[in-house]
């Protein structure tokens, strides 16, 4: 359904994203995981054709959706795909919701625009979708304004809008980051159910490895604008090859005791202006040797997963 190959994105002379590849079938969830600033949102914006809005452009690679190359698609054609066949859910629901308009008409508009429904057909569909998303009293909700709803409810409405035209691919960019933990879990479960019920292809972007473990079929781990490891979720968790992936997994709280020491990865993610040479992770990597600062590691297949590390496959 979606195949991204060697994607590179540039803003003028700087290229904050390069060498990102993944593929996704219907009924599958792909996790894109990495710390803030690793290039996850740029990847999402590239797939949605929204980079030009921020002045970015795709300078290499390809994005094929259902057999169609998207990197060369003209904006009017892209606009038809967006919303209709490619749905986007962002971290902040208020980037998608109009604060001045009631919920009902906002969701109705998607089906009117993309499916050519009449207003009343669209409303019936809206109520049906809100019900699917376990929103109580959908009729009443249609007459509310966004500010009258909780963060979790607003995010459900955004999901409803993304689903209204029956898309094939849903890109969810940190859909639960702004929500509290219990609501997060509900939204993640909801997305998981939707993938199965609607045979969706879901790209789930998160900085949270435990979300990946719960929901994803496969994973791309990103660091400093590059994919550094990818593979099926079991392989990534059972035998992570890249020290960065190992560190991310090491940060998942085990929840065994109250005084559990929460670890982070020492150091900070480099910005696009100081991406390291060689392996981008080498300044923070406990296993780095000289070669890591000079030579960019190629992907090495190890079992079912592949990692870009000079020492992938070696014992940690
Ligand atoms: N409009 C832009 N112009 C220049 N650099 C950008 C722009 N947007 C993002 N970047 C840079 O690209 C890198 C990746 O950003 P992003 O994809 O937003 O990361 P993430 O979503 O993983 O937190 C960051 O270093 C960021 O500073
Ligand atoms: Mg982001």
Ligand nearest to the CA of 33: 1
Q: What is the pLDDT of residue 43?
A: 97
Q: What is the pLDDT of residue 257?
A: 61
Ligand nearest to the CA of 275: 1
Q: What is the pLDDT of residue 294?
A: 97
Distance 217 CA to ligand 1 centre (A): 26
Distances (CA, A) of 41 to 2, 33, 82, 103, 173: 17, 11, 16, 26, 7
| Cα radius of gyration (the chain) | 20
Kindly list the protein residues whose Cβ atom lies closer than 6 A to any atom of ligand 1.
Answer: 11, 16, 34, 36-42, 54-56, 225, 271-272
Q: Which residues surround ligand 2, an ion (CB under 5 A)?
A: 40-41
pLDDT averaged per 10 residues in sequence order, the chain, 316 residues: 97 94 97 95 96 94 98 94 92 89 96 94 96 93 96 94 94 91 90 94 95 95 96 96 94 68 78 92 95 96 94 72
Tokens 């795909």 appear where? 81
Distance 36 CA to ligand 2 centre (A): 6
Q: Write down the architecture of domain 2-216 according to CATH.
A: 3-Layer(aba) Sandwich (3.40)
Task: Kindly report the number of other CB atoms within 10 A of residue 311's CB atom.
Answer: 20
> Are 27 and 50 spatial neighbours (Cβ–Cβ below 8 Å)?
no
Ligand 1 atom 14 nearest Cα? 39
Q: Which atom of ligand 1 is nearest to the CA of 39?
A: 17
Q: What is the pLDDT of residue 75?
A: 93
Ligand nearest to the CA of 178: 2
Q: How far apart are CA 128 and CA 35, in angstroms?
A: 37
Q: Which atom of ligand 1 is nearest to the CA of 38?
A: 22
Sequence ranges of the domains in the chain: 2-216, 217-316
């Amino acid at each position: 359904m979606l195949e991204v190959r060697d994607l590179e994105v540039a803003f003028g002379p700087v290229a904050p994203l390069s060498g990102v590849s993944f593929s996704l079938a219907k009924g599958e969830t792909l996790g894109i995981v990495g710390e803030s600033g690793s290039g996850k949102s740029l990847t999402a914006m590239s797939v949605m054709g929204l980079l030009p809005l921020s002045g970015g452009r795709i300078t290499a690679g390809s994005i094929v959706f259902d057999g169609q190359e998207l990197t060369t698609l003209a904006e009017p054609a892209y606009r038809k795909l967006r919303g209709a066949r490619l749905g986007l859910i962002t971290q902040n629901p208020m980037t998608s919701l109009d604060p001045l308009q009631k919920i009902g008409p906002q969701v109705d508009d998607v089906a009117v625009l993309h499916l050519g429904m009449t207003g009343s057909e669209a409303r019936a569909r809206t109520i049906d979708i809100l019900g699917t998303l376990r929103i109580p009293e959908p009729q009443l909700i249609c007459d509310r304004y966004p500010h009258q709803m909780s963060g979790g409810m607003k995010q459900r409405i955004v999901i409803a809008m993304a689903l209204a035209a029956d898309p094939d691919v849903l890109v969810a960019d940190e859909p639960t980051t702004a929500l509290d933990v219990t609501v997060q879990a509900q939204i993640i479960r909801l997305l998981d159910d939707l993938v199965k019920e609607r045979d969706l292809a879901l790209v789930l972007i998160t900085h949270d490895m435990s979300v990946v473990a719960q929901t994803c079929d496969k994973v791309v781990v990103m660091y400093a604008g590059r994919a550094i490891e990818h593979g099926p979720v079991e392989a990534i968790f059972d035998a992570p090859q890249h020290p960065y992936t190992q560190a991310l997994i090491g940060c998942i709280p085990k929840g065994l005791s109250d005084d559990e020491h929460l670890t982070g990865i020492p150091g900070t993610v480099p910005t696009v202006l100081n991406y390291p040479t060689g392996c981008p992770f080498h300044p923070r990597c406990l296993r780095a040797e000289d070669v890591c600062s000079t030579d960019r590691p190629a992907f090495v297949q190890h079992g079912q997963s592949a990692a870009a590390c000079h020492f992938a496959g070696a014992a940690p």
